[in-house]
Structure 1
Amino acid sequence: MKPIKRIDEPNCRRYQLDLHTDYLQRLYDVISKIGPEKILLDASDIVTWDTGLKEQGEITREIKASEESESLLKKDEERDQIISALFQDIRSAARSPLPARREAGHKLKLVVDTYKGLQKERWAGETAHIKGLLNDLDKSEYAAAITTVGVAELIQLLRTTNTAFDTLRMARTLTSASKNLPSAAEVRKKNEDALYAILFHIEVAYTMAPTEPERKVIGELIDQINRITHEAKATFNQSDAQRKAAKQPKEPKQPKEPKQPKEPKDPKPAPDPKQPEQPKKPDEKPKDPKKPDDGNPDIKLPEE
């Protein structure tokens, strides 16, 4: 019986697009090094698969560019808020009743007034003018005023945020998003179908190898494929666990322990049911209607 060597199930349909693209590209890199005829394929099969992977890579970059655009918008909003806060603090100091603070604020106000409306400029112009503002404030003649007004921290925050914005803008792909590309789902399915067909041919080629050296080469290829598959699955599982953990609601705060109720006062002892309750004695004895009133002894009752 001829030997059999299995390739692990890719099971990559749940992968995020970037992980899915990276996984297929890594498999292509190792499979394409083997002559197509040795794994029972035509050269055109590998070329077609490569074309599909490049198309998927382009779609992935387009989606990433859109995500980077959203990040740029948020970062631009951050630096606009910092600029507004910086200008407001300086102008407020220029109106201070404290002479030293008012003088320092007025000195810095002359600088920032030349950058009025900075937050409304286009991205490229705003980025360049923020650098100009920071260079002006870096001059030694303004160091004491910055300390007096207390805006050193805001200036440093503006510098950090502007650098981060510029880095994001430069890293963003310049590829136009207006190209007529197919949907990501369509391309994914096409490339997955090609992958499963190629893996099937590799398994058959291992079994049908005419010589042991050729079978060994294909066996090593299968080992590489399985290793890449294991790494991709581990990456997906880790990412999936983090995503699920982020969706879990936070544990509610433990309620405070209720205060212990005060001890009730000693209750009166319950009456003994065997002992009937004694009626209260009246202040005076009830008068006998047959007896005369003690107050007038001369009155007699008629005899019966």
Structure 2
Amino acid sequence: MTHAEEVKEFSPKKLTNANYGAFMQAFEKLVAKGTTEKLGLEASDFTAFQDKLKVFLDLNQEMHQEEFTKALQELDKKRDQLLSFIFAKISIEAQSPDTQVQKAGQLLLPLKKQYQGIQTKQDRAESFLISGLLVDLEKTEHAAAVAKIGLTAGVQELKTVNAKFIETMAERSEKEIVRNLQGAKKLREELDTLYRQFIRKIDALGVVSPNPELVACIASLNQLIQETRNARTIHKGLVGAYTTDGEWEDEEKPEAESVASEATDKA
């Protein structure tokens, strides 16, 4: 019986988080292409690997965190503009030559005075105060006045934007909780364990019952390992830490790299 080529000895432990993530992503694609059945792996184990890898990549995607920050900034700017528009509209219509419009505007003036300036509050406080303003504007005694001065659409848009801001803030906070509960270092250890387990099973099947998918997967994986080594060798040649056994000295500790911190809330 012809045995399949063995997977090259390789430990991704010394890779930086970015390179580690890239290597594991490529490995994940090779397994998915070969299928767990043909590679002798448990589907549940591979699913666990994919789930952990996704969390690991999320933790180390600074851009992902920046996207949350950018979205919150844009939403906050939009709701501030809407608040300014609503307050200005109330002031203008309170002086309208149209008696009915003027009466409606004057009815809403106390709310304007009560809530004006909330744009300068800290983000979560502003969200809470906007929610309070919306409740007041939607009360029976105020709803007709809001409609009379043409603010119904503006108030509805503020409600939508504020709800989206609160939702996005909560999602960002949830990501932070996950990051704190399960750091990148712990995830790497768990991914390393699964990787070694997969390699042992792939090699074992390659000895007893090789198949075309497994042979192709091993060939591609060995190429990936070699390319990763070559890239690292070139880089290490610049900093002088490469060893002769195919590994490399620590250039930087592959601990949990920090992701972008939450944007500073408005004072």
Bin the TM-score by the shorter chain: 0.5 to 0.7
Does the C-alpha gap of structure 1 residues 27 and 125 become closer, same or farther in structure 2, counting only changes over 3 Å? farther
Q: What is the Cα deviation at residue 125 of structure 1?
A: 0.4
After superposition, residues 194-233 of structure 1 pair within 5 angstroms as 204-209=203-208, 215=209, 222=214
Counterpart CA distance in 1 for 2:100 and 2:92 is: 13
Which residue of the partner structure matches residue 167 of structure 1?
167
8 Å contact from structure 2 (residues 4, 207) kept in 1: no
| More off after superposition, 76-85 vs 200-209 | 200-209
Aligned pair partner of 1:24 in 5, 21, 28: 28
8 Å contact from structure 2 (residues 118, 129) kept in 1: yes
8 Å contact from structure 2 (residues 41, 201) kept in 1: no
8 Å contact from structure 2 (residues 134, 155) kept in 1: yes
Does the C-alpha gap of structure 1 residues 199 and 115 become closer, same or farther in structure 2, counting only changes over 3 Å? same
Does the C-alpha gap of structure 1 residues 107 and 220 become closer, same or farther in structure 2, counting only changes over 3 Å? farther
- Matched length: 189
What is the one-letter code of the residue matched to 2:206?
T
8 Å contact from structure 1 (residues 105, 149) kept in 2: yes
Q: What is the Cα deviation at residue 165 of structure 1?
A: 0.4
Residue 33 (str. 1) matches residue 42 (str. 2): yes
Alpha-carbon displacement from aligned partner over 1:98-134 (angstroms, at most 9, x marks no partner): 2111111111121121001011111110000011000
Counterpart CA distance in 1 for 2:127 and 2:105 is: 24
Alpha-carbon displacement from aligned partner over 1:126-165 (angstroms, at most 9, x marks no partner): 0000110000011111122112100000000000000000
Gaps in structure 2 of 5+ consecutive residues = 8-20, 219-267
Residue 59 (str. 1) matches residue 27 (str. 2): no
Q: Bigger relative contact order, structure 1 or 2, given CA contacts below 8 A and separation 6+?
A: 2
What is the one-letter code of the residue matched to 1:174?
E
What is the one-letter code of the residue matched to 2:129?
H
Does the C-alpha gap of structure 1 residues 83 and 202 become closer, same or farther in structure 2, counting only changes over 3 Å? same
What is the one-letter code of the residue matched to 2:28?
L
Residue 103 (str. 1) matches residue 103 (str. 2): yes
Among all aligned residue pairs of Structure 1 and Structure 2, give the percentage whose two residues are the same amino acid: 23
Which residue of the partner structure matches residue 140 of structure 1?
140
Please report the TM-score for the alignment, with normalisation by the length of structure 2: 0.54
Q: Look at both structures and tell me which one has the larger radius of gyration over its CA atoms.
A: 1
SS at match of 1:174: helix
Counterpart CA distance in 2 for 1:164 and 1:56 is: 26
Please report the TM-score for the alignment, with normalisation by the length of structure 1: 0.48
Gaps in structure 1 of 5+ consecutive residues = 8-16, 37-45, 210-214, 227-304
What is the one-letter code of the residue matched to 1:81?
Q
Residue 78 (str. 1) matches residue 71 (str. 2): no
Does the C-alpha gap of structure 1 residues 55 and 140 become closer, same or farther in structure 2, counting only changes over 3 Å? closer
